[in-house]
Amino acid sequence: MAIIKTEALVLRTIPFQDSSCIVKLFTKEQGKISVIAKGARRLKSNLRGYLEPLNYIEAIYYYKATRDIQTLSKVDLLRALFINTTDIESSIFGLAVLELIDRVVHDHQHDAEVFDFSVQTLETMDRYSDNCRVLFIHFIISIAGILGYRFETDYCSRCKNRLSAAIYDSGTGQLVCQSCGSYLSSPYKLTASDLQFLNNLHKSSLETAINPMTLPASPDRIIYILLAYLAYHIDSPLNLKSLSILSELSP
Protein backbone atom coordinates (compact mmCIF):
# COMPACT_ATOMS: atom_id res chain seq x y z
CA MET A 1 0.00 0.00 0.00
CA ALA A 2 1.29 3.46 -0.95
CA ILE A 3 0.54 6.88 0.50
CA ILE A 4 -0.09 9.46 -2.21
CA LYS A 5 -0.15 13.22 -1.80
CA THR A 6 -1.58 15.20 -4.71
CA GLU A 7 -3.46 18.28 -5.80
CA ALA A 8 -7.03 17.51 -6.80
CA LEU A 9 -10.34 18.96 -7.92
CA VAL A 10 -13.46 17.66 -6.18
CA LEU A 11 -15.79 16.54 -8.98
CA ARG A 12 -18.69 15.16 -6.95
CA THR A 13 -19.56 13.70 -3.56
CA ILE A 14 -22.03 10.92 -2.76
CA PRO A 15 -23.24 10.14 0.81
CA PHE A 16 -22.24 6.67 1.99
CA GLN A 17 -23.69 4.89 4.99
CA ASP A 18 -24.44 7.04 8.06
CA SER A 19 -21.51 9.44 8.19
CA SER A 20 -19.13 8.80 5.31
CA CYS A 21 -19.08 9.73 1.62
CA ILE A 22 -17.59 8.57 -1.66
CA VAL A 23 -15.72 11.38 -3.42
CA LYS A 24 -14.78 11.49 -7.10
CA LEU A 25 -11.50 13.40 -7.45
CA PHE A 26 -9.57 14.54 -10.49
CA THR A 27 -6.00 14.34 -9.25
CA LYS A 28 -2.78 15.60 -10.74
CA GLU A 29 -0.87 12.40 -9.88
CA GLN A 30 -3.31 9.63 -10.82
CA GLY A 31 -6.05 11.24 -12.89
CA LYS A 32 -9.65 10.53 -11.92
CA ILE A 33 -10.11 8.36 -8.83
CA SER A 34 -12.72 7.57 -6.18
CA VAL A 35 -11.96 7.75 -2.46
CA ILE A 36 -13.94 7.01 0.65
CA ALA A 37 -13.93 9.79 3.24
CA LYS A 38 -14.77 7.99 6.46
CA GLY A 39 -16.80 10.04 8.92
CA ALA A 40 -16.63 13.12 6.69
CA ARG A 41 -20.30 14.00 7.31
CA ARG A 42 -19.92 14.11 11.08
CA LEU A 43 -20.21 17.62 12.53
CA LYS A 44 -16.74 17.48 14.10
CA SER A 45 -14.97 15.84 11.15
CA ASN A 46 -11.79 17.62 10.01
CA LEU A 47 -12.86 16.80 6.42
CA ARG A 48 -16.24 18.51 6.70
CA GLY A 49 -16.73 21.27 4.13
CA TYR A 50 -13.56 20.44 2.19
CA LEU A 51 -15.09 17.85 -0.13
CA GLU A 52 -17.60 20.00 -2.00
CA PRO A 53 -17.55 20.22 -5.81
CA LEU A 54 -15.44 23.16 -7.09
CA ASN A 55 -12.99 22.87 -4.21
CA TYR A 56 -9.32 22.75 -5.19
CA ILE A 57 -7.55 20.68 -2.56
CA GLU A 58 -4.40 18.84 -1.59
CA ALA A 59 -5.35 15.28 -0.70
CA ILE A 60 -3.47 12.47 1.00
CA TYR A 61 -4.86 8.98 0.51
CA TYR A 62 -3.87 5.35 0.86
CA TYR A 63 -3.55 3.69 -2.55
CA LYS A 64 -3.90 -0.02 -3.21
CA ALA A 65 -3.97 -1.20 -6.84
CA THR A 66 -6.49 -3.95 -6.11
CA ARG A 67 -9.09 -1.47 -4.80
CA ASP A 68 -11.53 0.51 -6.92
CA ILE A 69 -12.07 2.98 -4.07
CA GLN A 70 -9.09 4.33 -2.15
CA THR A 71 -9.12 5.59 1.45
CA LEU A 72 -8.79 9.32 2.05
CA SER A 73 -6.55 10.29 4.95
CA LYS A 74 -6.22 14.09 4.97
CA VAL A 75 -7.32 17.16 3.01
CA ASP A 76 -5.97 20.70 2.88
CA LEU A 77 -8.07 23.31 1.11
CA LEU A 78 -6.05 25.19 -1.50
CA ARG A 79 -8.93 27.25 -2.84
CA ALA A 80 -12.73 27.21 -2.60
CA LEU A 81 -13.74 28.29 -6.09
CA PHE A 82 -16.82 30.47 -6.75
CA ILE A 83 -17.45 30.81 -3.02
CA ASN A 84 -17.62 34.61 -3.19
CA THR A 85 -19.66 34.96 -6.36
CA THR A 86 -23.32 35.93 -6.34
CA ASP A 87 -23.65 35.06 -10.03
CA ILE A 88 -25.28 31.62 -10.19
CA GLU A 89 -24.57 31.38 -13.93
CA SER A 90 -20.80 31.45 -13.39
CA SER A 91 -21.04 28.68 -10.78
CA ILE A 92 -23.11 26.57 -13.19
CA PHE A 93 -20.47 26.92 -15.89
CA GLY A 94 -17.86 25.93 -13.30
CA LEU A 95 -19.87 22.80 -12.53
CA ALA A 96 -20.18 22.15 -16.28
CA VAL A 97 -16.36 22.13 -16.48
CA LEU A 98 -16.26 19.50 -13.71
CA GLU A 99 -18.97 17.44 -15.39
CA LEU A 100 -17.14 17.55 -18.71
CA ILE A 101 -13.90 16.42 -17.04
CA ASP A 102 -15.78 13.54 -15.43
CA ARG A 103 -17.11 12.45 -18.84
CA VAL A 104 -13.99 12.78 -21.01
CA VAL A 105 -11.25 11.66 -18.60
CA HIS A 106 -11.03 7.92 -17.94
CA ASP A 107 -10.40 6.58 -14.45
CA HIS A 108 -6.68 6.58 -13.57
CA GLN A 109 -5.87 8.37 -16.85
CA HIS A 110 -2.95 10.53 -15.73
CA ASP A 111 -2.88 13.78 -17.70
CA ALA A 112 -1.17 16.69 -15.95
CA GLU A 113 -1.85 18.99 -18.93
CA VAL A 114 -5.62 18.48 -18.67
CA PHE A 115 -5.46 18.87 -14.89
CA ASP A 116 -3.45 22.10 -14.95
CA PHE A 117 -5.60 23.61 -17.71
CA SER A 118 -8.80 22.69 -15.84
CA VAL A 119 -7.59 24.36 -12.65
CA GLN A 120 -6.46 27.46 -14.57
CA THR A 121 -9.81 27.68 -16.37
CA LEU A 122 -11.83 27.42 -13.15
CA GLU A 123 -9.63 29.99 -11.40
CA THR A 124 -10.03 32.35 -14.38
CA MET A 125 -13.81 31.83 -14.39
CA ASP A 126 -13.85 32.61 -10.68
CA ARG A 127 -12.00 35.90 -11.24
CA TYR A 128 -13.86 36.94 -14.40
CA SER A 129 -17.41 35.71 -13.87
CA ASP A 130 -18.77 37.93 -16.66
CA ASN A 131 -16.74 35.91 -19.19
CA CYS A 132 -17.76 32.42 -18.04
CA ARG A 133 -19.71 31.54 -21.19
CA VAL A 134 -16.75 32.45 -23.45
CA LEU A 135 -14.33 30.68 -21.11
CA PHE A 136 -16.46 27.53 -21.15
CA ILE A 137 -16.50 27.51 -24.96
CA HIS A 138 -12.73 28.05 -24.89
CA PHE A 139 -12.42 25.12 -22.45
CA ILE A 140 -14.32 22.71 -24.73
CA ILE A 141 -12.25 23.73 -27.77
CA SER A 142 -8.99 23.40 -25.84
CA ILE A 143 -9.83 20.05 -24.21
CA ALA A 144 -10.86 18.66 -27.60
CA GLY A 145 -7.48 19.76 -28.97
CA ILE A 146 -5.53 18.29 -26.04
CA LEU A 147 -7.34 14.97 -26.52
CA GLY A 148 -6.42 14.99 -30.22
CA TYR A 149 -9.77 16.08 -31.65
CA ARG A 150 -9.12 19.63 -32.87
CA PHE A 151 -12.32 21.29 -34.05
CA GLU A 152 -11.61 22.31 -37.67
CA THR A 153 -13.33 25.60 -38.52
CA ASP A 154 -11.34 26.68 -41.59
CA TYR A 155 -12.20 24.17 -44.32
CA CYS A 156 -15.11 21.96 -45.37
CA SER A 157 -14.35 18.34 -44.44
CA ARG A 158 -15.64 17.16 -47.85
CA CYS A 159 -14.78 19.59 -50.63
CA LYS A 160 -11.92 21.25 -48.67
CA ASN A 161 -13.09 24.74 -49.67
CA ARG A 162 -12.72 27.49 -47.09
CA LEU A 163 -15.80 27.81 -44.89
CA SER A 164 -17.78 31.04 -44.97
CA ALA A 165 -20.66 29.38 -43.08
CA ALA A 166 -21.01 25.78 -41.97
CA ILE A 167 -23.28 22.92 -40.99
CA TYR A 168 -22.31 20.32 -38.41
CA ASP A 169 -22.70 16.84 -39.89
CA SER A 170 -23.59 14.57 -36.96
CA GLY A 171 -22.96 11.50 -39.12
CA THR A 172 -19.27 12.27 -39.62
CA GLY A 173 -18.58 14.55 -36.66
CA GLN A 174 -17.25 17.31 -38.93
CA LEU A 175 -18.20 20.69 -40.37
CA VAL A 176 -19.24 20.93 -44.02
CA CYS A 177 -20.01 23.91 -46.23
CA GLN A 178 -23.59 24.82 -47.08
CA SER A 179 -23.26 23.27 -50.53
CA CYS A 180 -21.95 19.91 -49.29
CA GLY A 181 -24.47 19.88 -46.46
CA SER A 182 -27.50 20.99 -48.47
CA TYR A 183 -29.19 17.61 -47.93
CA LEU A 184 -28.74 17.69 -44.14
CA SER A 185 -31.61 18.66 -41.87
CA SER A 186 -29.17 19.41 -39.05
CA PRO A 187 -30.16 22.23 -36.68
CA TYR A 188 -26.48 22.77 -36.01
CA LYS A 189 -25.53 25.62 -38.31
CA LEU A 190 -22.73 28.15 -37.90
CA THR A 191 -22.78 31.61 -39.44
CA ALA A 192 -19.77 33.56 -40.65
CA SER A 193 -19.65 35.46 -37.34
CA ASP A 194 -19.85 32.15 -35.40
CA LEU A 195 -16.85 30.81 -37.35
CA GLN A 196 -14.89 34.01 -36.81
CA PHE A 197 -15.62 33.82 -33.09
CA LEU A 198 -14.40 30.20 -32.95
CA ASN A 199 -11.30 31.01 -35.02
CA ASN A 200 -10.46 33.80 -32.58
CA LEU A 201 -10.85 31.42 -29.63
CA HIS A 202 -8.62 28.84 -31.33
CA LYS A 203 -5.84 31.42 -31.25
CA SER A 204 -6.61 32.65 -27.72
CA SER A 205 -4.97 31.75 -24.46
CA LEU A 206 -6.91 31.98 -21.21
CA GLU A 207 -5.43 35.43 -20.70
CA THR A 208 -6.64 36.75 -24.06
CA ALA A 209 -10.00 34.94 -23.88
CA ILE A 210 -11.04 37.19 -20.98
CA ASN A 211 -10.60 40.31 -23.09
CA PRO A 212 -13.81 41.89 -24.36
CA MET A 213 -15.07 39.67 -27.16
CA THR A 214 -18.33 40.05 -29.02
CA LEU A 215 -20.43 36.97 -28.46
CA PRO A 216 -22.25 35.59 -31.49
CA ALA A 217 -26.03 35.73 -31.59
CA SER A 218 -26.47 32.16 -30.29
CA PRO A 219 -23.52 31.17 -28.09
CA ASP A 220 -25.45 28.29 -26.53
CA ARG A 221 -25.92 26.74 -29.97
CA ILE A 222 -22.14 26.84 -30.37
CA ILE A 223 -21.75 25.08 -27.03
CA TYR A 224 -24.09 22.29 -28.07
CA ILE A 225 -22.34 21.88 -31.44
CA LEU A 226 -18.97 21.59 -29.69
CA LEU A 227 -20.36 19.08 -27.19
CA ALA A 228 -21.96 17.06 -30.00
CA TYR A 229 -18.61 17.10 -31.84
CA LEU A 230 -16.65 15.96 -28.79
CA ALA A 231 -19.28 13.32 -27.92
CA TYR A 232 -18.97 11.89 -31.42
CA HIS A 233 -15.20 11.56 -31.16
CA ILE A 234 -15.09 10.08 -27.66
CA ASP A 235 -18.11 7.89 -28.52
CA SER A 236 -20.06 8.86 -25.42
CA PRO A 237 -23.03 11.23 -24.91
CA LEU A 238 -22.33 14.61 -23.32
CA ASN A 239 -25.71 15.77 -22.05
CA LEU A 240 -24.48 17.91 -19.18
CA LYS A 241 -26.96 18.28 -16.32
CA SER A 242 -25.41 21.62 -15.37
CA LEU A 243 -26.37 23.15 -18.70
CA SER A 244 -29.91 21.78 -18.36
CA ILE A 245 -30.21 23.72 -15.11
CA LEU A 246 -28.92 26.83 -16.86
CA SER A 247 -31.54 26.52 -19.62
CA GLU A 248 -34.27 26.24 -16.98
CA LEU A 249 -33.08 29.47 -15.36
CA SER A 250 -32.99 31.38 -18.65
CA PRO A 251 -36.03 33.59 -19.30
Examine the domain organization and report whether 116 and 160 are in the same domain. Answer: yes
Residue 178 has pLDDT above 80, yes or no: yes
Residue 213 has pLDDT above 70, yes or no: no
Examine the domain organization and report whether 70 and 107 are in the same domain. Answer: no
Show Cβ contacts of residue 54 under 8 Å, excluding neighbours closer than 6 positions: 9, 10, 80, 81, 82, 91, 94, 95, 98, 122
Question: What confidence score (pLDDT) does residue 250 get?
Answer: 63
**CATH code of the domain in which 25 resides:** 2.40.50.140
In a domain, 196, yes or no: yes
122 in Cβ contact with 94 (< 8 Å): yes
User: Is residue 202 classed as helix, strand or coil in its secondary structure?
Assistant: helix
Residue 177 has pLDDT above 90, yes or no: yes
Expressed as residue numbers, the domain containing 12 is 2-80
Residue 115 has pLDDT above 80, yes or no: yes
Band (13; pLDDT cuts 50, 70, 90):
very high
Per-residue pLDDT averaged across 41-60, rounded?
93
Question: What confidence score (pLDDT) does residue 251 get?
Answer: 56
Show Cβ contacts of residue 135 under 8 Å, excluding neighbours closer than 6 positions: 93, 121, 124, 125, 128, 206, 209, 210
Beta-carbon count within 10 A of 241 CB: 11
Q: Helices marked H in the chain — which ranges?
A: 88-104, 112-127, 132-146, 192-202, 206-209, 219-234, 241-249
Per-residue pLDDT averaged across 91-100, rounded?
96
